[in-house]
Amino acid sequence: MSYPSFNAFLDALRAADELLTIDSPVATELEITAIADAQMKSPGGGKALLFTKPTIDGKVSEFPVAINTMGSRKRMAMSLKVDAIDEIAEQMAFLMKAKPPGNLREAWDLVRNGIDVVHARPRTVRSGPCKEVIHLAGDGFGLDQIPVLLCWPKDGGRFVTLPNVHTRDPDTGARNIGMYRMQVYDALSTGMHWQVHKVAARHGKRYYERGEPMPVAVCLGGDPALTFAATAPLPDGLDEILLAGFLRKKSIDMVKCETCDIMVPAESDFVIEGEVRPGEMRAEGPFGDHTGFYTPVDDYPIFHVKAITHRKGAVYPATIVGQPPMEDFYMGTASVRIFLPIFQMNFPEIKDMALPAEGVFHNLVFVSIKKQYAYQAYKIMHGLWGMGQMMFAKYIVVVDDDCDVHNTSEVLFRMCANTDPKRDSAFVQNPSDALDHGTSAPNVGSHMGIDATRKLVGEGYDRGWPDLVVMAPEVEARVADLIAKLR
Ligand SMILES: Cc1cc2nc3c(=O)[nH]c(=O)nc-3n(C[C@H](O)[C@H](O)[C@H](O)COP(=O)(O)O)c2cc1C
Ligand SMILES: [Mn+2]
């Protein structure tokens, strides 16, 4: 169920005709973005791309660049070695049913214990492929030799876009892996864009309070399950390595860094080791972001590189963000699908949930429910606004369970038809995504919930709710053959 290397994943994509290889030189400055964006905007997410001769300031790089490797339903499923992400969601639901948890904390504990079920606890190893080449800071090798993309014309520099950033809670030793972009300042330093609500930012704050430098290791490549796990919205304290082990059903070999005692996946393509120093900040950005707009310059911590180790034949994995749809839509959709059974543990009335591409993750959430009592749609909105990164949801639209939330036009039809805007909306104050430029102040804003369900007694509507226009099933069955023939 696992890939021994990122290259093995690329081989699988190639065999499935999901990978296009570009052997002519292409510039890491803007050109790779332009080509990748065209794939990401084509129906279903286009193909993954492997650039074998990316150029850095005109010089061909030693390392190829792979991009859009998860950017379709099929490739996202392939990255986790399943035919469809639904299979993993079913395993998750099975875990939840095997020993139904009483609350959300217990639900996450079950996922943690599920790791034991599949014998996927990480293993410590003494060395591994990521140590095939070892460069210590000062030996002449640096980030300037890795084909990091300059993504968009007005970006403040080159950005590492698919980094798995490993940090530790200095108090408990708990590991966290998050995906936080890194602006390359020079060969041996970058920005570290962990936003204020993210786990590594909390770890950093504790190091600063203790006045200690914070060891950080950034891994690139390896089994794509690791990259997916770094983006997954796990609660603080739940180890992404355990999630990745659960997903790939195989222990992950972990090896110690050269310059600190952080443990990293031995099969990574690159490991960039270093530290963040208390209180040290630097201007980061602008960056053409998920929102489709440039996020403005803001101060973020600086990451000082102490060593870079890599595989022989390492491939540099990248993505781009920008106007939707982009590759990350498929990653986000997989997350929602996989964690839906956990949402349903807390809210059994939830049937399905979708974060449409236009909403770029949190801006727009569609949720369908089996409604039984008045104001239940509001309970769901408030519940979601209180759950992890769902706190950022700017608009939540709740529909009945007979509406397909993955069909945006169906949801808009319900929303327009079923609401009296004033009666059926709720506004709340909540934390907002750090990237949201629409709010008047950073990190906070108003959020709107729309109840597009049919109204029940007690919801201020007594005109008698009309029936939806649908054909009688027996008639549909009678003419089904003819309908198919006419298609
Ligand atoms: C391609 C991509 C880029 C991302 N860039 C950032 C970023 O720069 N900063 C950030 O805080 N979150 C970023 N995220 C979102 C986080 O990875 C995500 O919220 C993750 O769950 C955070 O993990 P944590 O809860 O362990 O902090 C990005 C996600 C993706 C898919
Ligand atoms: Mn986390």
Q: Is the pLDDT of residue 451 over 80?
A: yes
- CA 405 – ligand 2 centroid, Å: 27
Q: How far is the CA of 368 from the centre of ligand 2 (A)?
A: 27
Mean pLDDT calculated for residue range 58-68: 98
Taking the centre of ligand 2 as the mean of its atom positions, its distance from the CA of residue 479, in whole angstroms, is 52
- Assess whether the C-beta atom of 389 lies below 6 angstroms from ligand 1: yes
pLDDT band at 104 (very low <50, low <70, confident <90, very high): confident
- The response to whether residue 233 sits with its C-beta less than 6 Å from ligand 1 reads yes
Please report, rounded to a whole number, the percentage of residues in the chain having pLDDT higher than 90.
Answer: 90
- In this structure, the residue with its CA closest to atom 26 of ligand 1 is 178
- Which range, of 37-41, 89-93, 363-367, averages the lowest pLDDT? 89-93
Instruction: Please state, in angstroms and rounded to a whole number, the distance separating the CA atoms of residues 82 and 129.
Output: 25
Average pLDDT, stretch 83-108?
81
Span from the CA of 206 to the centroid of ligand 1 (angstroms): 20
Q: Which residues are catalytic?
A: 289
Q: Side by side, which strands form the sheet with 123-124?
A: 123-124, 253-256, 263-265
Q: What is the pLDDT of residue 110?
A: 75
Q: Tell me: the pLDDT tens digits for 112-147?
A: 766 566 667 899 999 999 999 999 999 999 999 999
Cβ–ligand 1 contact at 198 (below 6 Å): yes
Task: State whether the beta carbon of 318 lies less than 6 angstroms from ligand 1.
Answer: no
Average pLDDT over residues 281-289: 98
Q: What is the pLDDT of residues 335-375, one digit of tens each?
A: 999 999 989 988 999 999 999 999 998 999 999 999 999 99
User: pLDDT value at position 227?
Assistant: 98
40 lines ligand 1 (CB under 6 A): no
Mean per-residue pLDDT of the chain: 95
Which one of the ligands is nearest to 291 CA? Answer: 1
Cα-to-chain-centroid distance, residue 134: 30
> 443 CB under 6 A from ligand 1?
no
Report pLDDT for 28. Answer: 98
What contacts 377, CB < 8 A, 6 or more positions away?
369, 371, 398, 449, 451, 452, 453
Segment 382-410 shows an average pLDDT of 97
Residue of 69, 159, 176, 181 to mutate, ligand 1, most atoms within 8 A of C-beta: 181
Task: Give the model confidence (pLDDT) of 233-251 as tens digits.
Answer: 998 988 999 999 989 989 9
* pLDDT on residue 117: 61
Is the per-residue pLDDT at 324 higher than 70? yes
Looking at the CA of 151, name the nearest ligand: 1
User: Atom 18, ligand 1: which residue's CA is nearest?
Assistant: 231
Ligand nearest to the backbone CA of 233: 1
In the chain, what percentage of residues exceed pLDDT 70? 98
pLDDT value of residue 91: 86
For ligand 1, is residue 304 a contact (CB within 6 Å)?
no
Cα 421 from Cα 452, distance rounded (Å): 9
> How many A from CA of 477 to the centre of ligand 1?
47
pLDDT digit string (tens) for 145-184?
999 999 999 999 999 999 999 999 999 999 999 999 999 9
Interval 47-64 mean pLDDT: 98
Lowest average pLDDT, out of 20-29, 100-109, 352-361, goes to 100-109
